């Protein structure tokens, strides 16, 4: 039985198309404090702290794990919160993984991955908007979108971006998203994965509190017209498809691969993997 290096569990989502992978979280909680964070409904909203005896537990797991299966770091907390600069637990984990021959995909909203280049094979950085002010409201303690783009530009490793979540009538403006897609391409990224916002009671409460003028519209889109899929409120399928399709098309037009995350549209999976795992090989 594995302890901290676990087979990725998409919380039983029937729409998850991720390939087989391990997920690893040196931290529990996340200091980026994004309003829309999904993980808070499982673990609460608290700053990043290192898991108890983490490296010791990882070393044990590594003896039993299969190095042919890639590792994603991390899927439900960030491996590069501000604390990582001084704590360095992600770096130590990467060194251990490299020592055992594992291939690693970093998924983050931080910029600390620049320091650790060479210890992983691929990076997916999440950027939801180029609008600095909006980003600072939605992702109060994460680096600004331009800092994330600069960090991506500065590395040679294979890379991509998650534009996730796309919040209707807040971050779904097609012209702004096309500008973001172009900025992503200009960093040398090869892949973009898109996902619409899925509501959970706690994240919905936070975004409605921050944008009270949107409350009625979002309630109607998610809770009246929308659908319930494995514990989340989704926008109705027609609307999700209308948002996502032109974004996938634009990404392909600019020479990148594109996919969607937990949306249920096989025709929008235009990459060898949805999550960017293919960047590792």
Nearer to ligand SF4, 59 or 150 (CB): 150
Q: b/e for 187-220, b at 16 or more Cβ within 10 A?
A: bebbbbbbbbbbbbeebbebbbeebeebeeebbe
| Shorter beta-carbon distance to ligand SF4: residue 231 or 246 | 231
Compute the least distance from the CB of residue 238 to ligand SF4, in Å.
Answer: 26
CB of 170 to ligand SF4, least distance (A): 16
Taking the least distance from each CB to ligand SF4, the nearer of 122 and 250 is 122
CB of 45 to ligand SF4, least distance (A): 8
Nearer to ligand SF4 among residue 135 and residue 279 (C-beta)? 135
Q: How far is the CB of 117 from ligand SF4 (least distance, A)?
A: 20
What is the radius of gyration, based on Cα positions, of the chain? 18
| Beta carbon nearer to ligand SF4, 136 or 220 | 136
| Residues β-bridged to residue 194 | 163, 260
Q: Give me the torsion for CA of 253, 258, 260, 265, rounded to 10°.
A: 70
Binding site for ligand SF4 (CB under 6 A): 30, 32-34, 37, 39, 77-78, 109
46 in Cβ contact with 29 (< 8 Å): yes
CB of 175 to ligand SF4, least distance (A): 25
């Amino acid at each position: 039985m594995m302890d901290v290096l676990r087979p990725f569990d998409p919380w039983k989502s029937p729409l998850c198309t991720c390939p087989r992978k391990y997920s690893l979280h040196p931290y529990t909680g996340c200091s980026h404090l994004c309003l829309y964070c999904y993980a808070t409904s499982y673990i609460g909203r608290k700053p990043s702290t290192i898991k108890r005896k983490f490296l010791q537990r990882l070393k044990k797991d590594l003896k039993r794990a299969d190095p042919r299966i890639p590792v994603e770091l991390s899927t439900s907390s960030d491996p590069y919160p501000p604390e990582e600069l001084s704590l360095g637990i992600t770096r130590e984990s990467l060194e251990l993984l490299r020592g055992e021959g594992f291939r690693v995909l970093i998924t983050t909203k931080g910029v600390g991955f620049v320091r650790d280049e060479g210890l992983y094979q691929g990076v997916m950085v999440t950027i939801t908007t180029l609008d600095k002010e909006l980003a600072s409201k939605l992702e109060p303690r994460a680096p600004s979108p331009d800092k994330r783009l600069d960090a991506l530009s500065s590395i040679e490793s294979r890379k991509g971006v998650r534009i996730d979540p796309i919040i209707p009538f807040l971050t779904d403006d097609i012209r702004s998203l096309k500008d973001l897609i172009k900025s992503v391409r200009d960093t040398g990224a090869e892949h973009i994965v898109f996902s619409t916002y899925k509501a959970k009671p706690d994240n919905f409460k936070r975004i409605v509190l921050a944008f009270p003028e949107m409350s009625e519209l979002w309630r109607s889109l998610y809770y009246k017209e929308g659908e319930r899929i494995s514990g989340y409120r989704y926008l109705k399928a027609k609307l999700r498809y209308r948002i996502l399709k032109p974004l996938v098309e634009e990404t392909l037009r600019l020479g990148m691969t594109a996919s969607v995350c937990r949306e249920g549209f096989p025709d929008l999976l235009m990459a060898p993997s949805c999550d960017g795992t293919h960047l590792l090989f």
